Structure 1
């Protein structure tokens, strides 16, 4: 029995103790962004991949306007509330994400009559793999299917984003929800944040698996420092717009224009802008590489992105740098970079399946020797998007 099958089996048993009804089961993947670091708010191209682990939602309808919610990750807690009690930022804990999805769908569709919901996940939480967007997306899909709502993926992406922004109060873009709903097996999504185009590029799991290595360093600075990086890029854009007519985002700034006008930027703004200009080129090279099934070239772009994030965007840590170096020292590792906004969390690496054992041994041993911190490697393949699981 696969791990996902075991989660479904255990979830059905837990749901039976929680509700007399027979549930339907839904899944939403996590995601890792392989290229296009900090490009979403600069109008660039991002290249996320949906992961083969994620959130599982077991749900059945009720007719009494009551919502009952449980999670395996928070055993012993049952949240109960009436539909009329849903309102933004009512809940601060884990249930807020599920409530947010219910609130957003109810605002849009006015369909809820009551639900029993049980949630499980095999995705690491708070590690830069979009665990919150995953569970919200799964619940949005659940509501649409249980109440026969004819909603397309764009509408569900919007509602999942609304839930996290408005109900939970997290300021985030739409990248996570887009990657999760539009994921396709053995592909990377190329999403243009300015033109809003979407293209799936091949990434064959028989040739490359995704390794996620946890630095065990808390991402405490991620939120505040992320906002600072956004402000720095916004300031650089404002300065460049004075000399470059029609410029709407840093992604549109050419290397020639940057060279002509960069002396008007602060030293920090020059670094941030240089990263954006270089990352535009890396995403183009990376897309070309995937179209040619050249995973080695794509991996080299990932590694170059990491060192740009270290040197120009200054969002890496010593621990993340050690993990990237240890990863890329292994023959069979195509490339590696920090995931998410940085300042801790995880490293993502592309690794040939035949190199799994050596990769795991070398990276974990090296990291413990260099930092005295134990870590593990979790393995993923490029997966499909949100779906119902047949039971």
Structure 2
């Protein structure tokens, strides 16, 4: 599949630009093993880059001030003058790229003209961070071809800034960080505030990571997210009033929350309870990976889903169904909703030799229950963004 992606992107470049590309770059999507909705709540996340990529075919344009993109999957092109100040446009996919260029201009870096064709096998709208791959992939290309001397951390921050300023999405740093810093068969424990991170082995012999894409995204994702932020802030305010020495959720215990439950109200209490327990689960998950204990990791994932569904209330009927049905299978160690919520994918830790059978069973049950043909993605944990050289291993 990956060689097909590369070959097809090269062919598109040849057709559109009537020449051969000089460089091929691959930018991966990402999963998050555990640590949902704690990136903005003083916690850690546990993401990894995956073998679903955006492929960029690229050629420098000597003595040109024009950068031209061709989005192969959309059949759309866009050009801009690199000497001019950029502004958002009507095409959203273009804004991710213009935002990157604008951020690099703000850093005082100079580039030249480019021709770029790109295509993707990262499923759109499934919570696998295709936008972060697009942003950071372009930033990485500019950094490599024009020797901009940006660090990996700066590339990730450029991608995040582009999403904030040109796409209008106030995202955290996890997606961009995972796409840039990913390592083969490794997950990272990332502190989204300090950007400190550590790698842990994620190669669980005999087990596979399988994603079940519900193919739904309910419209209340943004409003639900904002409501939960308000609930959390109310809870924090109650905690600070009683315990002014507490500065973040890592210091909060379930006992403290129980004590403050009446002051908080049931809603804020349940939101905060989920966060406190999820922060602990991430630490336990790291120990499970370090000890090669997939059973424990699976249990923690399942506990996370229960919290997301019942305490944080960001799941939906379709995702709850996928998780519940998966957990009826003995060969599924753990399952949970992944991402912001109200649709998208569930992530499942499954015995490798049973993955195809279980996927088929769940797919049939889901179609019968909701009339939707879900998608199944078996994924491997891969390297972060890189330039591809002929005949090298991709994953």
1:188-207 equivalences under 5 Å are: 188-204=187-203, 206-207=205-206
- Cα deviation digits, residues 98-130 of structure 1 (max 9, x gap): 222222223224322211111111010111111
1:220 and 1:363 mapped to 2: Cα distance? 25
Tell me, yes or no, if structure 1 residue 183 matches structure 2 residue 175. no
Residue 314 (structure 2) aligns with: 315
The secondary structure found in structure 1 opposite 2:343 is coil
1:9 and 1:98 mapped to 2: Cα distance? 23
- Quote the offset at 1:155 in angstroms: 1.2
- Name the stretch that deviates more: 81-90 or 114-123: 81-90
2:84 and 2:302 mapped to 1: Cα distance? 48
Residue 64 (structure 1) aligns with: 64
- Quote the offset at 1:314 in angstroms: 0.6
1:200-279 equivalences under 5 Å are: 200-204=199-203, 206-279=205-278
1:277-296 equivalences under 5 Å are: 277-296=276-295
Gaps of 5+ in 2: 391-395
1:49 and 1:266 mapped to 2: Cα distance? 36
Residue 300 (structure 1) aligns with: 299
- Cα deviation digits, residues 315-345 of structure 1 (max 9, x gap): 1111101101122222322211111110111
Residue 362 (structure 1) aligns with: 361
- Cα deviation digits, residues 185-213 of structure 1 (max 9, x gap): 11111112345321111111643322111
- Quote the offset at 1:182 in angstroms: 1.4
- CA, structure 1 residues 59+246, in 2 after alignment: closer, same or farther (shift >3 Å)? farther
Residue 102 (structure 2) aligns with: 103
Residue 388 (structure 1) aligns with: 387
2:247 and 2:36 mapped to 1: Cα distance? 19
1:32 and 1:48 mapped to 2: Cα distance? 6
Q: 2:14 aligns with which of 13, 16, 20?
A: 16
1:342 and 1:303 mapped to 2: Cα distance? 15
Residue 35 (structure 1) aligns with: 34
1:14 and 1:146 mapped to 2: Cα distance? 21
- CA, structure 1 residues 132+194, in 2 after alignment: closer, same or farther (shift >3 Å)? closer
- CA, structure 1 residues 360+79, in 2 after alignment: closer, same or farther (shift >3 Å)? same
2:156 and 2:33 mapped to 1: Cα distance? 20
- CA, structure 1 residues 365+170, in 2 after alignment: closer, same or farther (shift >3 Å)? same
Residue 161 (structure 1) aligns with: 160
**Contact 2:100–2:159 (8 Å) recurs in 1:** yes
1:124 and 1:148 mapped to 2: Cα distance? 31
1:246 and 1:23 mapped to 2: Cα distance? 57
Tell me, yes or no, if structure 1 residue 172 matches structure 2 residue 184. no
TM-score, length-normalised on structure 2?
0.94
Residue 374 (structure 2) aligns with: 375
**Contact 1:205–1:382 (8 Å) recurs in 2:** no
TM-score, length-normalised on structure 1?
0.95
Q: May I ask how many residue pairs the two structures share in their alignment?
A: 388
The secondary structure found in structure 1 opposite 2:171 is coil
**Contact 1:186–1:205 (8 Å) recurs in 2:** no
1:334 and 1:271 mapped to 2: Cα distance? 26
- Quote the offset at 1:132 in angstroms: 0.4
Tell me, yes or no, if structure 1 residue 350 matches structure 2 residue 349. yes
2:193 and 2:8 mapped to 1: Cα distance? 43
**Contact 2:88–2:98 (8 Å) recurs in 1:** no
- Cα deviation digits, residues 150-194 of structure 1 (max 9, x gap): 222111111111111112221111111111111111111111234
Gaps of 5+ in 1: none
**Contact 1:69–1:118 (8 Å) recurs in 2:** yes
Residue 93 (structure 2) aligns with: 94
